[in-house]
Structure 1
């Protein structure tokens, strides 16, 4: 029955575990945590956590970090971007060589 109390979704019984946004935020937080551990930065992000906003959209809370931590993170991102661009250029060169038959 539609008006039966068990069929209605009551906001008082809502749980973040009912939300796709929560799982997306949790998975992204886990991935970021793993990368921070690999970089030796896990202790520098003590406020890292998954969260939801009032609309049920998943968010990743990074929290406050020291200026030194922010600089280190910025340097890691610069290195990753440079490495990615270098790999992209190498891949493009290999593709060009393959197309022209050059070795």
Structure 2
């Protein structure tokens, strides 16, 4: 409506750079990219990118990969799980998860 306050900003001027979701997706994408590089898989994920959905929620687009790449990724995840890495290992001993390790990136 014409009488609604706009806060000095036009809705058409919105930018993903004004969104926390964008930065969360970008930081997660960067963290994943770094791990893929260390694993030698950087060329196997050509569609990896940060994105936002229509609601401004951050997403990480992994894209399509070859069956060989999917098998290698599955093996890396299996090795991580058998070596003791767990998403829930953040209680008393507070060993940082991948997300926490890269949280401070800008």
- TM-score class, shorter: 0.7 to 0.9
> Residue 31 of structure 2 corresponds to which residue in structure 1?
31
- Structure (1 or 2) with the larger CA radius of gyration: 1
SS in 2 for 1:31: helix
Structure 1 unaligned segments of length 5 or more: list them: 89-103
Give CA deviations for 1:4-45 in whole Å, capped at 9, x if unaligned: x98333221000000000000000000000000000000000
Give the TM-score of the pair, scaled to structure 2. 0.72
The answer as to 2:57 corresponding to 1:57 is yes
**1:43 & 1:56 partners in 2: Cα distance?**
28
Which structure is higher in helix share? 1
SS in 1 for 2:25: helix
Q: Which has the higher contact order (CA 8 A, sep 6+)?
A: 2
How many pairs are equivalent? Answer: 83
Give the TM-score of the pair, scaled to structure 1. 0.75
Structure 2 unaligned segments of length 5 or more: list them: 90-106
SS in 2 for 1:76: helix
